Amino acid sequence: MFTISRRGFLAAGSVAAAGSIIPNVYPAWAATPLKLGLILPFSSVYAKLGEEIAQGLELALAEEGGTVAGRSVEVIKQDTEVNPKTAIQGANRLVKQEAVDFLVGPVSSAVAAAIRNVAHNGRTHLIVANAGHDGLSQGLCSPFIYRTSFSNWQVSAPMGTWMYKQGIRRVMLAASNYAGGTLMLKHFSESFQEAGGEIAGEVLPDLKEIQYAPFLEQIRNSGAEAVFCFFAGNAAVEFVKQYSQFGLHGNIPLYGCGFLTTSDVRPAQGEASEGIRTTLHYAETLDNPQNTAFRQAFQDRYGSAPSLYAVQGYDSGRAIVEALKTTDGNTEDKEALSRALDGIALDSPRGRMAFSRNHDPVQDIYVLEVQNGQNVVIDTAAKSLTTPTTDCTL
């Protein structure tokens, strides 16, 4: 799927009008729309996540009156279908044919790894609005790649230490079988084992699996005290529902990365999500003025409550807006654009967020528990957490 929406041509017109009074003062880019290429899943298991990221981004642009540093904005949407091959073609089209100024997305770690070179070799800034693939801020880091979401390590390693501290010693692992899931489990296992814990085993259902019974049977027979897992989007809905239907809810406590119980999936999970504990960089219940204002604005504009993914889309939009204000709208000088992004610190709905040397967000990681259908912050697992810079020479 491929769609274009155009907005804010009024401002582009006023720049052109000013140009007729003082000829040749404005550089060519000032009169051209800022082109944003959204490389996101608009179908398949992560479709809802992609839609919310796009909505969050569009809210940030709307708050600027639809123009950024005097330039009108053109948003081009490209569906990845959560498929690395499809995504490479789409990203190439956005960079080479559409000549977008920024790519924004993707959701899946496997897709992020696949399109990394399209952005890097095409010298096009990629604002990673979800995918946590650790390589992007380590060996595959790039002057053109910045992440407004999280690294997989940030949302999984802190839980290993935290669960051990709660007295849990033997854990079974479960995750969707692709780069996102396997990386989350690796980071959790390392920190849990380092603390002294033991891994009982792991199950890795296919990303698009809908029948979890054989995997739940293995969990039941594992003798583990608890489960740590990574599932998101439709996979999170199904896994949590079937965990409960299988009689495991309440018997083997379920822990995970926070995507398991974000507010986009909880209504469909219902009672089955109660008591689940996760680590994440956002909770809808965070009490800060930015979160209150953001949640109200999103509700007013779309008639629904935002989840974490909308926050990440919103902050991607905010980062682009702030960077362009610094460069006076110039997106041609790529080094200047990177320097502008380097200097950004956002008062995000999640709390304070800035970019580390390897372009990952520096942010707090919360421990959440679903209580009466809401994610409540029960602890802070890590303050101002920075992803290790191993192998990144930026």
Nearer to ligand PHB, 105 or 329 (CB): 105
Mask for 73-112, x = binds ligand PHB (CB under 6 A) = ----------------------------------xxx---
- Is residue 180 part of the contact set for ligand PHB (CB under 6 A)? yes
- Interface residues for ligand PHB in 233-262 (CB under 6 A)? 259
Nearer to ligand PHB, 30 or 49 (CB): 49
Nearer to ligand PHB, 46 or 164 (CB): 46
User: CB-based burial of residue 21 (10 Å sphere; 0-12 exposed, 13-18 middle, 19+ buried)?
Assistant: exposed
- Provide the β-strand partners of residue 2: 78
Of 11-19, 63-71, 127-135, 280-288, the segment contacting ligand PHB by CB under 6 A is 127-135
The rounded distance, in Å, linking the Cα atoms of 299 and 100 is 29
CB of 259 to ligand PHB, least distance (A): 4
CB of 95 to ligand PHB, least distance (A): 22
Nearer to ligand PHB, 34 or 107 (CB): 107
- Interface residues for ligand PHB in 49-68 (CB under 6 A)? 49
The rounded distance, in Å, linking the Cα atoms of 236 and 206 is 13
CB of 152 to ligand PHB, least distance (A): 6
User: What burial letters (b/e) apply to 29-46, b meaning 16+ CB within 10 Å?
Assistant: bbbbbbbbbbbbbbebbb
How many other β-carbons are positioned within 10 Å of the β-carbon of residue 111?
Answer: 32
Size of the site for ligand PHB (CB under 6 A): 13
Q: 3-class secondary structure for 366-393?
A: EEEEEECCEEEEEEEEEEEECCCCCCCC
CB of 133 to ligand PHB, least distance (A): 6
- Is residue 278 part of the contact set for ligand PHB (CB under 6 A)? no
Nearer to ligand PHB, 151 or 244 (CB): 151
Mask for 306-345, x = binds ligand PHB (CB under 6 A) = ----------------------------------------
The rounded distance, in Å, linking the Cα atoms of 204 and 285 is 31
- The reply to whether omega before 106 is within 30° of 0 (cis) is yes
- Is residue 132 part of the contact set for ligand PHB (CB under 6 A)? yes
Whole-Å CA distances, 268 to 38, 51, 166, 316, 383: 27, 17, 29, 27, 31
Report the residue number whose CB is nearest to ligand PHB: 180
CB of 221 to ligand PHB, least distance (A): 28
| Run of H or E residues at 85 | helix 84-92
Nearer to ligand PHB, 30 or 280 (CB): 280
- Is residue 175 part of the contact set for ligand PHB (CB under 6 A)? no
Nearer to ligand PHB, 128 or 226 (CB): 128
- Interface residues for ligand PHB in 202-231 (CB under 6 A)? none
The rounded distance, in Å, linking the Cα atoms of 227 and 216 is 11
The sign of the dihedral angle between the CA atoms of 22, 24, 29, 32 is positive
The rounded distance, in Å, linking the Cα atoms of 37 and 42 is 13
* Cα 79 off chain centre by: 16
CB of 298 to ligand PHB, least distance (A): 18
Selection from 103, 72, 161, 211 nearest residue 382 by Cα: 161
Residues near ligand PHB (CB under 6 A) are 46, 49, 107-109, 130-133, 152, 180, 232, 259
